[in-house]
Structure 1
Amino acid sequence: MIPRIRFDIGWRDLLYGFRTAYSFRGDDRLTAQLKVEQLWSSEDDSLACLSLRSGFDTALEAYSFPAGSEVLMSCMNIGPMADIVESHGLTPLPIDLDLDKLTMRPDLLERAITPNTKAIVHAHLLGTRQPLDELRRLADKHGLVLFEDCAQAYRADDWRGDPRCDVTMFSFGPLKTCSATMGGIVRYRDKDMLEKARSLQSQLPVQSRFEIIQRLLLFSELIFVTQELPYSIIVGAARRLGLEEFVNAPLRNFRGSKAYQFKKLRKQPSRTLLSLLLHRLKTYDPSLVKQRLDAAEALLGEIPEVCRPGRAIADHGYWQFPIYCDDPVGLRRHLHRQGFDSTLGHKAFVVIPPPADRLEFEATTATGTLPRSLYLPVHFRARKEDLVRLGEAIRSFDPECTNDRGVLNDSCTVADRAGTLETTAAAT
């Protein structure tokens, strides 16, 4: 079985983390934090955090928007981002996407902004990077704070987001490029706001050594499990028992009730985590990103007509590789029989629901296409011969066996039709 998940962290990195956790030598926590921030940016504008979500939570507290204010957000993301907004007494308002470009639709943005709107949160999805000229123009016109979520867009290069954004957030969590198992870095355009956020974070409890050691142990197990042979054995058994989420569940940094999640994320990063993040940033091999890009291009060469989100974006990092299919469950079973793991779209992301009084902003395009998405095993460990087989397996999927219309062009038509219907509804 070819796993869809491969962690971008190795045994040596984990050993470095263990050694740091059990050693009394090296930098103290604040020195390690300063070194991470200085390595990331020479502008003295960054704050190292426990996670991107922790940094986002602190940033919202620093800006102190009035209770009940609205925050416009890319409608498709991980669910906890909207939960964090709500925890500050704010209302997340989803903006539907142009799925070819993975950007918030400008017509909806203009309609959504009211005097109660205080911020925009744009997420660069699936490894893409979009120009933010229009968002910056809107933010300046209406006096809004512009947040940039770069969790999926880092490629181990010099890119640090759009310098015109007020807050730019990066993640080094479980499945991210240059993973440190967790950790985040947030850049602020306003130095006074940075100092306020730094002061707020300094009042939080520090992540314990036990917590980070537990994390390192978990990843030691997961790296072993996601090797092909053990993965084949364990996933096969788990699926027969209906427990196939056994890998995904431990990857969520903060699980449990919302109250428990917030208790876990509202902490300062430990010395061990900061040292490991510094080590990863210093020693990471950018050729791994190139291998991932090469794998994506190789598969696209096998299935050039396949429909996928972000198909119109030139600046693509292929952090994830979803395709559209009118029968993703059937295709997933077909790929499984051919020896390839995959993940259904609704298990990877959520579509943020609109508030009850603004139901006209229901993200119908994203809602209609997310269930048709299937995430394929395209990553830096993918072998050329396996990608050729994967392409053959996708092309050989027989729509007649599922009474559906297949994998290639029809699903694009579905996505386009959903967007057309939404535009027509808005016009009327």
Structure 2
Amino acid sequence: MYPPKSFDIGWPDLAYGLAACGRDGDADRWAATVERRFGDGGTKGPESAAGSGANGWEPAAGGGANGCLAALSVRSALDLALAAAALPRGSEVLMSAVTIPDMWRIVVGHGLVPVPVDVDAGTLLPAAAQWAAAATPRTRAVVVAHLFGTRAPLDSLAELAARRGWLLVEDCAQAYDGPDFRGSPGADVSLFSFGPIKTATALGGAVAVVRNPGLLATMRALHQEWPVQGPGDQARRIAKYTALALLTARPVYTGAVTAAGLLGRDHEGGLQERVGAFAGTDLMPAIRHRPGPALLALLDRRLRAADTVRAVARRAAVARRLVVRLPDPSMVYGADAPVHTFWLCAVPTPDPAATIARLRSAGFDAARPTSLGAVPAPPDHQQGARTAAHLVRHAVCLPLRPGMPDRVLDRMAAVLDPEDWGPAPGP
């Protein structure tokens, strides 16, 4: 049985991360190292691994943050950006209509009103004209998310935001593909996640690229008021995801799924509950912490990894080999995006439960993108987000692994019956 998603982290990284939990460290120095590393392009930065200490543990001294802020999570960084921007209460925030629910909850937590702008199934972004159409005199900010590994230029949106004085926040949590992409130049803030299921994961942590020096200074000052993540938090997180990494190894996972079926248990629901970075927590208090030195040390190591670009290319290559075998390749979510690295390969089906059941019977444990939701429209905004609602209800994510042979991809594609292929709705 192929698991729905694997963790993009190796055993040496997990061992390094666990060892880092037992060392003393300065969170501020480690944050400066991560910020400089990310701003300079990871492995292309001025320091080598040796330059960060003979064993890679000691952080480099000095500043040079290059407009970056290391945070506990993308949620934390969005919270900081909105607090620093100090938008008037009741201001509207346009949001691409599919995102994780915590993002619009944070907007609401600042006394702001999230307004969904529907996405296009081909690009997974709203069309340029939709942003202006959704705006009102109360609009003060935009939060746009690149989904499933897709990416598209934001030039027209950035021009609109600059002309109207809106804060433009770009969520790149699912779009990171290595050191060459640091966000759209026209965005005020670009957010990158290294949470548990993200590319080059450090099992947590995020970096915000902030292009307004005044905004960055205010975010940094607010950040310093937050407590540092407790020393045991990262150790518990590494232990948890080490166990989950073992569980999602294919032979072990096959046995676990079989055992769960015999016991009448829902293995998918249990796994989804355990993977979420902030599942089961009181959101705002949980995200208002600074990352600790052990988390930052592991994040710095992951940013120094030389094989991220190759790993993403292998992931995208196997997805493309599957896509050309599907009944209608153009139906894959994000098929028209200029860049698609297939962090997830998702397709629409009219009956997701039936499709997932057929895939599982063939040895592929597909899953719904349950971490995503459709941003609810406020009562005084009647425009719908039809494609967003359709995606949340009908998307199925196909389990892919680098190196899957053609015969396996043929078998997976054959399960997706052309008669059951669910079209995305029109505008």
TM-score by length of 1: 0.89
Q: Unpaired segments of 5 or more residues in structure 1? A: 400-404, 421-428
**1:196 aligned residue:** 218
**1:49 aligned residue:** 71
Counterpart amino acid of residue 95 in structure 1? V
The 5-angstrom pairing of residues 113-128 of structure 1 reads 113-128=135-150
**2:377 aligned residue:** 354
**3-state SS of 1:386 partner:** helix
Structure 1 window deviating more from structure 2 (188-197 vs 267-276): it is 188-197
Counterpart amino acid of residue 296 in structure 2? L
Q: Structure 2 CA distance, aligned partners of 1:131 and 1:106?
A: 11
Q: Structure 1 CA distance, aligned partners of 2:403 and 2:296?
A: 27
Tell me whether 1:171 sits opposite 2:193 in the alignment: yes
Tell me whether 1:376 sits opposite 2:390 in the alignment: no
> Structure 1 residues 381, 194: closer, same or farther in 2, change over 3 A?
farther
Task: Check whether the contact 1:238–1:244 (CA below 8 A) recurs between aligned residues.
Answer: no
Task: Check whether the contact 1:100–1:313 (CA below 8 A) recurs between aligned residues.
Answer: yes
Of residues 402, 419, 425, the one that matches 2:426 is 419
Counterpart amino acid of residue 301 in structure 1? V
Tell me whether 1:242 sits opposite 2:249 in the alignment: no
Task: Check whether the contact 2:38–2:179 (CA below 8 A) recurs between aligned residues.
Answer: no
Counterpart amino acid of residue 30 in structure 1? D
**1:185 aligned residue:** 207
Task: Check whether the contact 2:123–2:335 (CA below 8 A) recurs between aligned residues.
Answer: yes
Q: Structure 1 CA distance, aligned partners of 2:237 and 2:102?
A: 20
Q: Structure 1 CA distance, aligned partners of 2:324 and 2:245?
A: 29
- Cα RMSD of the aligned pairs, angstroms, is 1.7
Structure 1 window deviating more from structure 2 (324-333 vs 374-383): it is 374-383
Task: Check whether the contact 1:49–1:184 (CA below 8 A) recurs between aligned residues.
Answer: yes
Counterpart amino acid of residue 288 in structure 1? A
**2:348 aligned residue:** 324
Counterpart amino acid of residue 349 in structure 1? L
**3-state SS of 2:207 partner:** strand
Q: Structure 2 CA distance, aligned partners of 1:197 and 1:40?
A: 18
The Cα of 1:325 is off from its aligned counterpart by 1.5
Q: Structure 2 CA distance, aligned partners of 1:268 and 1:278?
A: 15
Counterpart amino acid of residue 22 in structure 1? G
Tell me whether 1:336 sits opposite 2:360 in the alignment: yes
> Structure 1 residues 243, 228: closer, same or farther in 2, change over 3 A?
closer
> Structure 1 residues 89, 383: closer, same or farther in 2, change over 3 A?
farther
Of residues 292, 297, 312, the one that matches 1:289 is 312
Task: Check whether the contact 1:93–1:361 (CA below 8 A) recurs between aligned residues.
Answer: no
**2:326 aligned residue:** 303
Q: Structure 1 CA distance, aligned partners of 2:406 and 2:168?
A: 40
Percent same amino acid among aligned pairs? 35
**1:105 aligned residue:** 127
Q: Unpaired segments of 5 or more residues in structure 2? A: 41-64
Q: C-alpha deviations, 1:257-283, integer Å up to 9, x for none?
A: 5xx121111100000000000011112
The Cα of 1:243 is off from its aligned counterpart by 4.5
**2:5 aligned residue:** 5
Task: Check whether the contact 2:73–2:287 (CA below 8 A) recurs between aligned residues.
Answer: yes
**2:31 aligned residue:** 33
**3-state SS of 1:275 partner:** helix
TM-score by length of 2: 0.90
Tell me whether 1:72 sits opposite 2:94 in the alignment: yes
Q: Structure 1 CA distance, aligned partners of 2:387 and 2:16?
A: 45
The Cα of 1:234 is off from its aligned counterpart by 1.5
Tell me whether 1:211 sits opposite 2:233 in the alignment: yes
The Cα of 1:337 is off from its aligned counterpart by 0.6
The Cα of 1:374 is off from its aligned counterpart by 0.8
**Structure 1 consecutive aligned stretches of length 4 or more whose deviation exceeds 6 Å:** none
**3-state SS of 1:118 partner:** strand
**1:152 aligned residue:** 174
